[in-house]
Amino acid sequence: MLRLRTTAAIIVLLAAIAGASALWPSAGVEVADFTAFWVAGHRLLAHENPYDATYALEVERSMGFTAERPLVMRNPPWALWVVLPLGALHHPGARLLWTECLVAMLWFSASRVWTIYGGCPRKQWIPLFVTFVFAPALACIAVGQTAPFLLLGLTLFLYLHSGHEFWAGFALLLTAFKPQVAFLFWIALFLWCAENRKWRIMGGLLSSSGLATLIALLFDSHAIEHYRAMLLTESIQTQFIPTLGGFLRLRFGQAWLQLLPAIVGLGWVLTYYFRRRKSWKWKRCLPPLLLGSLLLAPYAWMEDEVVILIALIAAAAGIKGGKYALRIAVGFVGTNIAILILLAFGFRVSSPSYIWTEWVWISFYWLTTKLNPGTRVP
């Protein structure tokens, strides 16, 4: 029976990957977000600037890319070590390896989060179903984005923080690949570590970040300067970002409004933490922090919503049956189908078409925890 379930799960997973490839508009095009990481890996192995937009555009043009702006790796220098192996491979082989790693990280994280939140061992298919139906996860697989690394880092932190503090902090390097995506978590983490003298966690984070940055500097001694120059060249602050802050800036034409939700989030997380600090438990407090981060972050994309799988799987693990469970499942599947349809019709992730998605995931989490008081965060 176990072997049959495993086989069925693998078949469902392969079908999900195939569906992502079929629905994603650029899936049939060789150049995708992954190409930026592959180019960065090649440049790094050659001891050249991995953030070189001119070189990236030249390579991507040779591969049939037609957009005006090149795809350039935007992750900070301490993330460069993960693209090093890609530079030793041809594009198809590197893409296959990258995709397999993303799928493995999603699979492991979903299963581990399910266990952490007390999900039924006989229903391990549920977190895999939630994960590989989740449109942002399929989008990550299709274009090769890095959000599964963030999810894995948070999962390992949850799993290790109570008994292996140094390694819990060490694992957070992965989440630091895009620190803005979980910015409320970082604020709460620093407050909690300072108040409870969790220096091993901070030591682990500093050790892994320092080691990763050192690796980048060994291959490109000016990696930090090159990263800063790339941010200026990319002019990220002038592009539309599909977040609440991005919408406010677009609607009212004031650049500072991009940061307004994050400022509100700062006030909220301080209140949230100090009200719960005497009974702080990461298991119950992490989901709201991640949901709030994605909603209020000044800079995030739809694929980055992968990190809130922790909240969605935690909520699913608390469902003990009932007449509303099927309705929630149908609504969840329907929402993801709607997103995939938008993607299939060519609505890019930078489009305002996806501003509503964070609100829907928050609603699902709130509704599920409301109907199942055992999962509710006090």
Residue 17 and residue 103 in contact, taking contact as beta carbons nearer than 8 Å: yes
- What local confidence, expressed as pLDDT, does residue 255 receive? 83
**Which residue matches tokens 């503090």?**
165
Nearest to 214 by CA among 47, 87, 80, 46: 80
Altogether, the residues listed in the chain come to a count of 378
For the full predicted model, state whether its pTM sits above 0.85: yes
User: Cα–Cα distance between 365 and 313 in angstroms, integer?
Assistant: 9
pLDDT digits (tens, 9 = 90+) for 277-326: 999 999 999 999 999 999 999 888 889 999 999 999 999 988 776 667 78
User: Cα–Cα distance between 136 and 311 in angstroms, integer?
Assistant: 14
CA end-to-end span of the chain: 39
Per-residue pLDDT of the chain (378 residues; tens, 9 = 90+): 455 455 455 545 554 554 444 444 444 446 788 999 999 999 999 999 999 999 999 999 999 888 888 899 999 999 999 999 999 999 999 999 999 999 999 999 999 999 999 998 889 999 999 999 999 999 999 999 999 999 999 999 999 999 899 999 999 999 999 999 999 999 999 999 999 999 999 999 999 999 999 999 999 999 999 999 998 887 666 677 888 888 888 888 888 888 999 999 999 999 999 999 999 999 999 999 999 999 999 888 889 999 999 999 999 988 776 667 788 888 999 999 999 999 888 887 777 788 889 899 999 998 888 766 554 444
Q: How far is CA 141 from CA 22, 92, 226, 248, 303, in A?
A: 12, 14, 28, 30, 9
